[in-house]
Structure 1
């Protein structure tokens, strides 16, 4: 039984238990709010140590600033996690960013991501957010996951997040 529980900064080392690898058949490019499908057909490898350090650093930094994280645990093993950023965004300052979201390869398509997404959404509502801002990787699996959770392409692109990840698909989930 996989449990969804809050994570703390000191749990960050557990992120090394995540296998983010996946077979990517299709990616998307968004132009003027319209998604264009692009065949990919390659295997995306797991993170190397530099990438683990980057993700762990983002995780720790966000939690130090007041962000929230939930982990999916199968016993003591971290099989998924998500981070809700602390900074309000958007023209009405009523959006919180879903900053990181990963489920390890062997545990995908079991509802774990949806449970983490739900837990983070509830925290966002409690903090006063009206929407989640999602800067999704351009992969078919990520974009379709967020769409299945009720997210849609946003017309109000966050310039800071776009600059960091210009190939991401920027979406909003109304809460």
Structure 2
């Protein structure tokens, strides 16, 4: 498994990712408190329109100066993460983890952690003190970010919250 930088030319490789998962629980957050709800449903893989949307988002972030890392098993992309380039927070010292996915068959093998490490190093090199994470509300995503040192943020980014109000907004200190 190799973790390496991704460029615009790598965007179509996102189609290698199978984002499907069985979702046991989801979280919601109100007044800084997480509430867990049983979900018990299968989240399907992306359809072509959703792949196109992810690819466009990936390309936009890279064109704006963002950084992406991919995990490759041979020639197959099995995970990727994108660090946005816009500084956020009241002190303008946070960079957002904009996209982060590991394909279903490769989860729970440390790949996501290795991608997060690469994104963290890139953020530090750019002068960030924290990562801002707008996590999907699934138990697997929230617990992954928490296991990597993230916690609920006391200062929700209003722009990101407006885009994804169901997400769990977290900060990871670097």
- Give me the TM-score of the superposition, normalised by structure 2: 1.00
**SS of 2:86 mapped into structure 1:** strand
The aligned counterpart of 1:173 is 172
The aligned counterpart of 2:46 is 47
How far apart are residue 120 of structure 1 and its match?
0.3
How far apart are residue 72 of structure 1 and its match?
0.2
Q: Give the Cα separation in 1 of the matches to 2:149 and 2:64.
A: 28
How far apart are residue 144 of structure 1 and its match?
0.1
1:7-26 Cα offsets, whole Å, 9 max, x none, are 00110000000000000000
1:138-157 Cα offsets, whole Å, 9 max, x none, are 00000000000000000100
**SS of 1:110 mapped into structure 2:** coil
Does 1:37 pair with 2:36?
yes
CA RMSD after TM alignment: 0.3
- Give me the TM-score of the superposition, normalised by structure 1: 0.99
Q: Runs in 1 of length 4+ with deviation above 2 angstroms? A: none
How far apart are residue 87 of structure 1 and its match?
0.1
**SS of 1:87 mapped into structure 2:** coil
1:89-125 Cα offsets, whole Å, 9 max, x none, are 0000000000000000000000000000000000000
Q: Give the Cα separation in 2 of the matches to 1:112 and 1:66.
A: 24
Does 1:152 pair with 2:151?
yes
Q: Give the Cα separation in 1 of the matches to 2:63 and 2:36.
A: 38
Q: Give the Cα separation in 2 of the matches to 1:31 and 1:154.
A: 12
Gaps of 5+ in 2: none
